[in-house]
Structure 1
Amino acid sequence: MRAIVLLLAFLVSIALPARAADDIAAAQSVIRSQEQAFSHDDAAAAYSYAAPEIQQMFRQPDIFMYMVQNNYAPVYRHKSFEFGEARAADGQIAQRVHIIDADGEAWEALYTLEEQPDGSLKITGCSLLKAGQAV
Structure 2
Amino acid sequence: MTERNGMMRSILGRFLVLFGLLLAAFPAAAQDAEIRATINRQLDAFQRDDWSEAFTYASPDLRQLFGTPERFRDMVLGGYRTVHRPQQVSFRELDLSGLRPVQIVFFIGPDGLAYLAAYEMEQQADGSWRISGVQMIRAADKAV
| TM-score grouping bracket, smaller chain normalisation | 0.7 to 0.9
Question: 1:20, 1:88 within 8 Å by CA — same for their partners in 2?
Answer: no
Superposed CA deviations along residues 8-63 of structure 1, whole A, max 9, x for unmatched, are 76554322221111101000000000001011100111000000011111000111
Structure 2 counterpart SS, 1:47:
helix
Letter in 1 for 2:22: I
Deviation at 1:77, TM superposition (A): 1.5
- 1:72 matched to 2:77? The reply is no
Aligned counterpart, 1:16: 24
Structure 2 portions without partners, runs of 5+: 1-11
In structure 2, the CA distance between the partners of 1:91 and 1:23, relative to structure 1 (3 Å rule), is: farther
Of 60, 72, 77, the match for 1:52: 60
- 1:33 matched to 2:53? The reply is no
Structure 2 counterpart SS, 1:19:
helix
Question: 1:20, 1:89 within 8 Å by CA — same for their partners in 2?
Answer: no
Structure 2 counterpart SS, 1:41:
coil
Aligned counterpart, 2:135: 127
Name the Cα RMSD after superposition. Answer: 2.4
Number of aligned residue pairs: 131
In structure 2, the CA distance between the partners of 1:91 and 1:10, relative to structure 1 (3 Å rule), is: farther
Letter in 1 for 2:42: Q
Structure 1 portions without partners, runs of 5+: none
Higher strand fraction (1 or 2): 1
Identical-pair percentage: 32
Letter in 2 for 1:87: D
Aligned counterpart, 1:106: 114
In structure 2, the CA distance between the partners of 1:71 and 1:22, relative to structure 1 (3 Å rule), is: same
Letter in 1 for 2:37: S
CA distance in 2, matches of 1:88, 1:30: 17
Question: 1:115, 1:122 within 8 Å by CA — same for their partners in 2?
Answer: yes
Structure 2 counterpart SS, 1:37:
helix
Question: TM-score, structure 2 length as denominator?
Answer: 0.80
Structure 1 counterpart SS, 2:87:
strand
